[in-house]
Structure 1
Amino acid sequence: MILPIYAYGQPVLKKVAKHIDSDFPDLPRLIDDMWETMYNASGVGLAAPQIGKSIRMFIVDTIQLREEEDKENGIKGVFINPEKLEEYGEDFSYEEGCLSIPDIRADVTRQSKLKLKYFNENFEERIEEFEGVNARVIQHEYDHIEGILFIEKINPLKRNILRRKLDKIRKGKINSEYKMSFK
Protein backbone atom coordinates (compact mmCIF):
# COMPACT_ATOMS: atom_id res chain seq x y z
CA MET A 1 0.00 0.00 0.00
CA ILE A 2 1.29 3.44 -0.90
CA LEU A 3 1.52 5.57 2.23
CA PRO A 4 1.53 9.37 2.45
CA ILE A 5 4.97 10.91 2.94
CA TYR A 6 5.09 13.38 5.82
CA ALA A 7 6.03 16.85 4.68
CA TYR A 8 8.54 19.28 6.12
CA GLY A 9 7.11 20.82 9.29
CA GLN A 10 5.61 17.62 10.70
CA PRO A 11 6.83 17.01 14.28
CA VAL A 12 7.66 13.32 13.64
CA LEU A 13 10.46 14.42 11.30
CA LYS A 14 12.24 16.21 14.15
CA LYS A 15 12.08 13.39 16.74
CA VAL A 16 14.87 10.95 17.53
CA ALA A 17 13.29 7.63 16.57
CA LYS A 18 12.98 4.62 18.88
CA HIS A 19 14.57 1.17 18.54
CA ILE A 20 12.28 -1.71 17.64
CA ASP A 21 12.31 -5.44 18.37
CA SER A 22 11.90 -8.30 15.92
CA ASP A 23 8.28 -8.70 17.08
CA PHE A 24 7.32 -5.17 15.96
CA PRO A 25 3.68 -5.46 14.74
CA ASP A 26 3.30 -6.19 11.01
CA LEU A 27 6.97 -5.42 10.28
CA PRO A 28 7.08 -7.32 6.94
CA ARG A 29 3.97 -5.45 5.78
CA LEU A 30 5.44 -2.12 6.86
CA ILE A 31 8.64 -2.83 4.94
CA ASP A 32 6.66 -3.79 1.81
CA ASP A 33 4.60 -0.61 2.11
CA MET A 34 7.75 1.47 2.48
CA TRP A 35 9.25 -0.03 -0.70
CA GLU A 36 6.04 0.61 -2.62
CA THR A 37 5.82 4.18 -1.27
CA MET A 38 9.46 4.98 -2.04
CA TYR A 39 9.31 3.67 -5.61
CA ASN A 40 5.99 5.44 -6.23
CA ALA A 41 7.69 8.72 -5.26
CA SER A 42 10.82 7.94 -7.33
CA GLY A 43 12.99 7.91 -4.22
CA VAL A 44 16.26 6.11 -3.48
CA GLY A 45 15.72 6.01 0.29
CA LEU A 46 12.90 6.32 2.77
CA ALA A 47 13.02 6.47 6.57
CA ALA A 48 10.15 5.37 8.80
CA PRO A 49 9.65 8.88 10.25
CA GLN A 50 8.83 10.04 6.71
CA ILE A 51 5.71 7.86 6.83
CA GLY A 52 4.83 8.93 10.37
CA LYS A 53 6.52 6.09 12.27
CA SER A 54 9.08 7.25 14.83
CA ILE A 55 11.11 4.04 14.66
CA ARG A 56 14.77 3.45 13.75
CA MET A 57 14.33 1.92 10.31
CA PHE A 58 14.98 2.98 6.75
CA ILE A 59 15.27 1.45 3.30
CA VAL A 60 17.73 2.26 0.53
CA ASP A 61 18.02 1.36 -3.15
CA THR A 62 20.95 2.97 -4.96
CA ILE A 63 21.02 0.30 -7.68
CA GLN A 64 18.55 2.42 -9.65
CA LEU A 65 21.09 5.30 -9.69
CA ARG A 66 23.72 3.20 -11.42
CA GLU A 67 24.43 2.72 -15.09
CA GLU A 68 23.57 -0.77 -16.35
CA GLU A 69 27.21 -1.93 -16.30
CA ASP A 70 27.66 -0.62 -12.73
CA LYS A 71 24.49 -1.96 -11.05
CA GLU A 72 26.45 -4.42 -8.87
CA ASN A 73 28.00 -1.47 -7.02
CA GLY A 74 24.63 -0.24 -5.83
CA ILE A 75 22.89 -1.45 -2.69
CA LYS A 76 19.32 -2.35 -1.82
CA GLY A 77 18.39 -3.09 1.74
CA VAL A 78 16.49 -2.60 4.95
CA PHE A 79 18.33 -1.03 7.88
CA ILE A 80 16.82 -1.58 11.32
CA ASN A 81 18.22 -0.02 14.51
CA PRO A 82 21.34 1.19 12.67
CA GLU A 83 24.31 2.51 14.61
CA LYS A 84 27.08 4.56 13.01
CA LEU A 85 30.38 3.06 14.04
CA GLU A 86 32.58 5.42 12.05
CA GLU A 87 32.40 8.11 9.38
CA TYR A 88 35.67 8.75 7.61
CA GLY A 89 37.28 9.58 4.29
CA GLU A 90 37.37 12.84 2.44
CA ASP A 91 34.55 15.32 2.68
CA PHE A 92 32.62 15.64 -0.54
CA SER A 93 29.74 17.81 -1.56
CA TYR A 94 26.77 16.44 -3.49
CA GLU A 95 23.33 17.78 -4.33
CA GLU A 96 20.69 16.13 -2.17
CA GLY A 97 16.93 16.20 -2.15
CA CYS A 98 14.29 14.68 0.10
CA LEU A 99 10.83 13.22 -0.45
CA SER A 100 9.60 15.18 2.60
CA ILE A 101 10.89 18.42 1.09
CA PRO A 102 9.80 18.24 -2.57
CA ASP A 103 11.33 20.45 -5.25
CA ILE A 104 14.24 21.58 -3.08
CA ARG A 105 17.77 20.41 -3.71
CA ALA A 106 21.02 21.68 -2.23
CA ASP A 107 24.66 20.71 -1.84
CA VAL A 108 25.47 18.87 1.37
CA THR A 109 29.00 18.02 2.47
CA ARG A 110 29.48 14.59 4.04
CA GLN A 111 32.38 12.23 4.61
CA SER A 112 32.81 9.70 1.83
CA LYS A 113 32.84 6.48 3.90
CA LEU A 114 30.70 4.99 6.62
CA LYS A 115 30.90 1.90 8.85
CA LEU A 116 27.46 0.85 10.10
CA LYS A 117 26.06 -1.81 12.41
CA TYR A 118 22.40 -2.67 11.78
CA PHE A 119 19.84 -5.45 11.51
CA ASN A 120 18.37 -6.48 8.16
CA GLU A 121 14.69 -7.33 7.59
CA ASN A 122 15.26 -10.81 9.10
CA PHE A 123 16.81 -9.22 12.20
CA GLU A 124 20.24 -10.59 11.32
CA GLU A 125 22.98 -8.30 12.61
CA ARG A 126 25.34 -6.84 10.02
CA ILE A 127 28.43 -4.67 10.18
CA GLU A 128 29.29 -3.18 6.80
CA GLU A 129 31.26 -0.36 5.24
CA PHE A 130 29.81 1.84 2.54
CA GLU A 131 31.32 4.56 0.38
CA GLY A 132 30.44 7.20 -2.16
CA VAL A 133 26.79 7.57 -3.09
CA ASN A 134 25.86 4.44 -1.12
CA ALA A 135 27.30 5.99 2.06
CA ARG A 136 25.65 9.33 1.30
CA VAL A 137 22.15 7.90 0.89
CA ILE A 138 22.54 5.91 4.12
CA GLN A 139 23.84 9.01 5.95
CA HIS A 140 20.85 11.01 4.69
CA GLU A 141 18.36 8.36 5.84
CA TYR A 142 20.22 7.88 9.14
CA ASP A 143 19.84 11.61 9.76
CA HIS A 144 16.06 11.16 9.46
CA ILE A 145 15.96 8.70 12.36
CA GLU A 146 18.00 11.20 14.38
CA GLY A 147 15.46 13.97 13.63
CA ILE A 148 17.82 15.82 11.26
CA LEU A 149 16.83 17.07 7.81
CA PHE A 150 19.32 17.71 5.02
CA ILE A 151 18.44 21.41 4.89
CA GLU A 152 19.94 21.75 8.36
CA LYS A 153 23.30 20.77 6.86
CA ILE A 154 23.37 23.32 4.06
CA ASN A 155 24.91 26.74 3.96
CA PRO A 156 22.85 29.09 6.22
CA LEU A 157 22.63 31.68 3.46
CA LYS A 158 21.19 29.11 1.04
CA ARG A 159 18.75 27.90 3.73
CA ASN A 160 17.61 31.49 4.26
CA ILE A 161 17.01 31.85 0.51
CA LEU A 162 14.86 28.67 0.62
CA ARG A 163 12.81 29.81 3.64
CA ARG A 164 9.80 30.93 1.57
CA LYS A 165 9.64 27.59 -0.30
CA LEU A 166 9.98 25.70 2.99
CA ASP A 167 7.10 27.69 4.49
CA LYS A 168 4.92 26.77 1.51
CA ILE A 169 5.73 23.08 2.02
CA ARG A 170 4.95 23.32 5.74
CA LYS A 171 1.56 24.90 4.90
CA GLY A 172 0.76 22.33 2.21
CA LYS A 173 0.81 24.90 -0.56
CA ILE A 174 2.67 22.73 -3.04
CA ASN A 175 1.84 20.27 -5.77
CA SER A 176 3.46 16.90 -5.34
CA GLU A 177 3.44 13.96 -7.74
CA TYR A 178 2.98 11.58 -4.78
CA LYS A 179 0.72 11.38 -1.76
CA MET A 180 1.83 13.62 1.13
CA SER A 181 0.64 14.38 4.65
CA PHE A 182 0.59 17.98 5.89
CA LYS A 183 -1.26 17.37 9.21
Structure 2
Amino acid sequence: MSLQDWTEAELGIHGRVLPVMQAPDAVLSAASSPVDPADPETVRLAADLVATMRVSPGCVGLAASQVGVARHVFAVDVSGHPKARTVHGTFVLCNAVVEEATRNEKGREGCMSVPDLTGDVKRASRIAVRGRLPGSGEEVVVETDAFEARALQHEVDHCDGYLFLDRVAGAHAVYARQTYL
Protein backbone atom coordinates (compact mmCIF):
# COMPACT_ATOMS: atom_id res chain seq x y z
CA MET A 1 0.00 0.00 0.00
CA SER A 2 1.42 3.42 -0.88
CA LEU A 3 0.64 6.78 0.62
CA GLN A 4 -1.39 7.83 -2.40
CA ASP A 5 -3.90 5.00 -2.38
CA TRP A 6 -5.01 4.97 1.25
CA THR A 7 -8.77 5.02 1.54
CA GLU A 8 -11.31 3.58 3.89
CA ALA A 9 -12.35 1.14 1.15
CA GLU A 10 -8.78 -0.24 0.93
CA LEU A 11 -9.13 -1.39 4.53
CA GLY A 12 -12.77 -2.43 4.26
CA ILE A 13 -13.89 0.09 6.87
CA HIS A 14 -16.19 3.07 6.57
CA GLY A 15 -15.57 5.76 9.15
CA ARG A 16 -18.01 7.36 11.53
CA VAL A 17 -18.42 11.12 11.74
CA LEU A 18 -17.31 12.18 15.21
CA PRO A 19 -17.85 15.45 17.12
CA VAL A 20 -14.89 17.85 17.08
CA MET A 21 -13.52 19.08 20.41
CA GLN A 22 -13.07 22.82 20.85
CA ALA A 23 -10.54 24.77 22.90
CA PRO A 24 -10.09 24.81 25.84
CA ASP A 25 -10.88 21.06 26.03
CA ALA A 26 -7.97 19.41 27.89
CA VAL A 27 -7.40 16.71 25.24
CA LEU A 28 -6.23 19.44 22.84
CA SER A 29 -3.35 20.50 25.09
CA ALA A 30 -2.12 17.00 25.99
CA ALA A 31 0.58 15.17 24.07
CA SER A 32 -0.87 12.14 22.29
CA SER A 33 0.26 8.56 22.90
CA PRO A 34 1.99 6.57 20.15
CA VAL A 35 -0.14 3.90 18.47
CA ASP A 36 0.27 0.50 16.88
CA PRO A 37 -0.68 1.26 13.25
CA ALA A 38 -1.83 -2.34 12.69
CA ASP A 39 -4.20 -2.36 15.68
CA PRO A 40 -7.84 -2.55 14.49
CA GLU A 41 -8.71 0.36 16.84
CA THR A 42 -6.11 2.53 15.08
CA VAL A 43 -7.47 1.54 11.67
CA ARG A 44 -11.02 2.40 12.84
CA LEU A 45 -9.80 5.75 14.20
CA ALA A 46 -8.07 6.51 10.87
CA ALA A 47 -11.30 5.85 8.97
CA ASP A 48 -13.25 8.01 11.45
CA LEU A 49 -10.81 10.91 10.98
CA VAL A 50 -11.18 10.76 7.20
CA ALA A 51 -14.99 10.56 7.42
CA THR A 52 -15.15 13.50 9.84
CA MET A 53 -12.75 15.56 7.73
CA ARG A 54 -14.77 14.93 4.56
CA VAL A 55 -18.03 16.29 5.99
CA SER A 56 -16.37 19.39 7.48
CA PRO A 57 -16.33 22.28 5.00
CA GLY A 58 -12.86 23.71 4.44
CA CYS A 59 -11.15 21.05 6.57
CA VAL A 60 -7.77 19.93 5.20
CA GLY A 61 -6.56 17.97 8.24
CA LEU A 62 -7.80 16.42 11.45
CA ALA A 63 -5.92 14.91 14.39
CA ALA A 64 -7.24 12.26 16.75
CA SER A 65 -7.06 14.68 19.69
CA GLN A 66 -9.58 16.87 17.88
CA VAL A 67 -12.15 14.08 18.14
CA GLY A 68 -11.31 13.47 21.79
CA VAL A 69 -8.82 10.61 21.36
CA ALA A 70 -5.29 11.28 22.66
CA ARG A 71 -3.53 9.10 20.08
CA HIS A 72 -0.82 10.11 17.62
CA VAL A 73 -2.85 9.77 14.40
CA PHE A 74 -3.98 12.39 11.88
CA ALA A 75 -5.55 12.69 8.43
CA VAL A 76 -4.66 15.24 5.74
CA ASP A 77 -6.08 16.09 2.32
CA VAL A 78 -5.31 19.45 0.69
CA SER A 79 -6.68 18.39 -2.73
CA GLY A 80 -8.33 21.29 -4.48
CA HIS A 81 -7.06 23.94 -2.07
CA PRO A 82 -5.89 27.02 -4.02
CA LYS A 83 -2.69 27.41 -1.94
CA ALA A 84 -1.59 23.78 -2.45
CA ARG A 85 1.27 23.05 -4.84
CA THR A 86 2.27 19.50 -3.95
CA VAL A 87 -0.71 17.27 -3.18
CA HIS A 88 -0.55 13.66 -1.95
CA GLY A 89 -4.33 13.18 -1.78
CA THR A 90 -6.07 11.78 1.28
CA PHE A 91 -3.75 10.05 3.73
CA VAL A 92 -3.43 9.16 7.39
CA LEU A 93 -0.18 8.98 9.36
CA CYS A 94 0.52 7.36 12.71
CA ASN A 95 3.36 8.41 15.04
CA ALA A 96 4.55 11.05 12.58
CA VAL A 97 7.58 13.26 13.19
CA VAL A 98 9.01 16.14 11.19
CA GLU A 99 12.50 15.08 10.10
CA GLU A 100 13.52 18.04 7.94
CA ALA A 101 12.14 21.55 7.76
CA THR A 102 13.38 24.56 5.81
CA ARG A 103 12.44 28.07 4.72
CA ASN A 104 10.08 29.45 7.36
CA GLU A 105 7.22 31.55 6.04
CA LYS A 106 4.34 33.30 7.77
CA GLY A 107 0.83 32.22 6.81
CA ARG A 108 -2.73 32.44 8.10
CA GLU A 109 -4.16 29.36 9.81
CA GLY A 110 -7.49 28.33 11.19
CA CYS A 111 -8.65 25.25 13.03
CA MET A 112 -11.89 23.39 13.60
CA SER A 113 -11.05 23.29 17.31
CA VAL A 114 -10.76 27.10 17.41
CA PRO A 115 -13.70 28.00 15.16
CA ASP A 116 -13.89 31.73 15.80
CA LEU A 117 -10.23 32.70 15.28
CA THR A 118 -7.42 32.57 12.74
CA GLY A 119 -3.80 33.53 13.21
CA ASP A 120 -0.50 34.17 11.49
CA VAL A 121 1.96 31.33 12.13
CA LYS A 122 5.54 30.86 10.91
CA ARG A 123 6.05 27.37 9.53
CA ALA A 124 8.57 25.65 7.30
CA SER A 125 7.56 25.78 3.64
CA ARG A 126 9.43 22.55 2.78
CA ILE A 127 9.37 19.50 5.04
CA ALA A 128 9.93 15.78 5.28
CA VAL A 129 7.68 13.88 7.71
CA ARG A 130 8.21 10.23 8.67
CA GLY A 131 5.24 8.17 9.86
CA ARG A 132 3.45 4.85 9.52
CA LEU A 133 0.34 3.99 7.54
CA PRO A 134 -2.66 2.56 9.41
CA GLY A 135 -3.34 -1.07 8.68
CA SER A 136 -0.07 -2.11 7.09
CA GLY A 137 2.19 -0.19 9.47
CA GLU A 138 4.40 0.58 6.46
CA GLU A 139 6.85 3.41 7.19
CA VAL A 140 6.64 6.31 4.73
CA VAL A 141 8.35 9.64 4.32
CA VAL A 142 6.21 12.48 2.98
CA GLU A 143 8.24 15.23 1.33
CA THR A 144 6.14 18.24 0.53
CA ASP A 145 5.95 22.00 0.39
CA ALA A 146 3.70 25.04 0.58
CA PHE A 147 0.21 24.51 1.95
CA GLU A 148 0.48 20.74 2.41
CA ALA A 149 3.66 21.29 4.48
CA ARG A 150 1.77 23.77 6.65
CA ALA A 151 -1.14 21.34 7.10
CA LEU A 152 1.18 18.50 8.13
CA GLN A 153 2.96 20.68 10.70
CA HIS A 154 -0.39 21.86 12.07
CA GLU A 155 -1.51 18.23 12.58
CA VAL A 156 1.80 17.12 14.10
CA ASP A 157 1.39 20.04 16.52
CA HIS A 158 -2.06 18.73 17.50
CA CYS A 159 -0.50 15.35 18.29
CA ASP A 160 2.08 17.12 20.46
CA GLY A 161 -0.60 19.07 22.36
CA TYR A 162 -0.29 22.43 20.59
CA LEU A 163 -2.87 24.61 18.86
CA PHE A 164 -1.96 27.18 16.23
CA LEU A 165 -2.64 29.81 18.93
CA ASP A 166 0.44 28.49 20.75
CA ARG A 167 2.54 29.35 17.67
CA VAL A 168 1.38 32.91 16.86
CA ALA A 169 3.79 35.77 17.59
CA GLY A 170 1.30 37.47 19.91
CA ALA A 171 -2.20 38.88 20.21
CA HIS A 172 -1.55 41.19 17.24
CA ALA A 173 -1.36 38.06 15.01
CA VAL A 174 -4.79 36.65 15.99
CA TYR A 175 -7.94 37.61 14.07
CA ALA A 176 -11.68 37.01 14.26
CA ARG A 177 -12.64 34.47 11.61
CA GLN A 178 -14.50 36.00 8.70
CA THR A 179 -17.88 34.43 8.07
CA TYR A 180 -19.73 34.72 4.81
CA LEU A 181 -23.44 34.27 4.30
Aligned to 2:65: 49
1:66·1:74 contact (CA, 8 Å) conserved in 2?
A: no
Q: Which is richer in helix?
A: 1
Number of residue pairs matched by the alignment: 158
Selected match of 1:26 from 41, 45, 48: 41
2:125·2:149 contact (CA, 8 Å) conserved in 1?
A: yes
1:18·1:54 contact (CA, 8 Å) conserved in 2?
A: yes
Aligned-partner SS, 1:5: coil
Aligned to 1:154: 168
For 2:142 and 2:164, locate their aligned partners in 1 and report how far apart those are by CA, in whole Å. 23
For 2:41 and 2:159, locate their aligned partners in 1 and report how far apart those are by CA, in whole Å. 20
1:21 alignment partner AA:
D
For 1:128 and 1:117, locate their aligned partners in 2 and report how far apart those are by CA, in whole Å. 6
1:47·1:145 contact (CA, 8 Å) conserved in 2?
A: yes
1:44·1:64 contact (CA, 8 Å) conserved in 2?
A: no
TM-score (norm 2): 0.79
Per-residue CA distance 1:137-180 (angstroms, 9 max, x = gap): 00000000000100111121336x76xx8xxxxxxxxxxxxxxx
Aligned to 1:5: 20
Deviation at 1:117, TM superposition (A): 1.0
| Unaligned stretches of 5+ residues in structure 1 | 166-183
2:121 alignment partner AA:
V
1:123 aligns with 2:137: yes
2:38·2:137 contact (CA, 8 Å) conserved in 1?
A: no
Aligned-partner SS, 1:62: coil
Q: Which aligned pairs between 1:103-118 and structure 2 lie closer than 5 A?
A: 103-118=116-131
Aligned-partner SS, 1:20: coil
Identity of aligned residues (%): 30
Per-residue CA distance 1:43-98 (angstroms, 9 max, x = gap): 1000000011111110000113149xx88x3122111111221211x221111000
For 1:44 and 1:8, locate their aligned partners in 2 and report how far apart those are by CA, in whole Å. 19
2:112 alignment partner AA:
L
- Report the CA distance shift for 1:128/1:2 in structure 2 as closer, same or farther (over 3 A): closer
1:63 aligns with 2:76: no
Deviation at 1:23, TM superposition (A): 4.2
For 2:42 and 2:124, locate their aligned partners in 1 and report how far apart those are by CA, in whole Å. 31
1:3·1:51 contact (CA, 8 Å) conserved in 2?
A: yes
> RMSD of aligned C-alpha atoms?
2.1
Greater relative contact order (Cα < 8 A, sep 6+):
1
2:37·2:43 contact (CA, 8 Å) conserved in 1?
A: no
For 2:87 and 2:172, locate their aligned partners in 1 and report how far apart those are by CA, in whole Å. 30
For 1:104 and 1:158, locate their aligned partners in 2 and report how far apart those are by CA, in whole Å. 12
TM-score (norm 1): 0.79
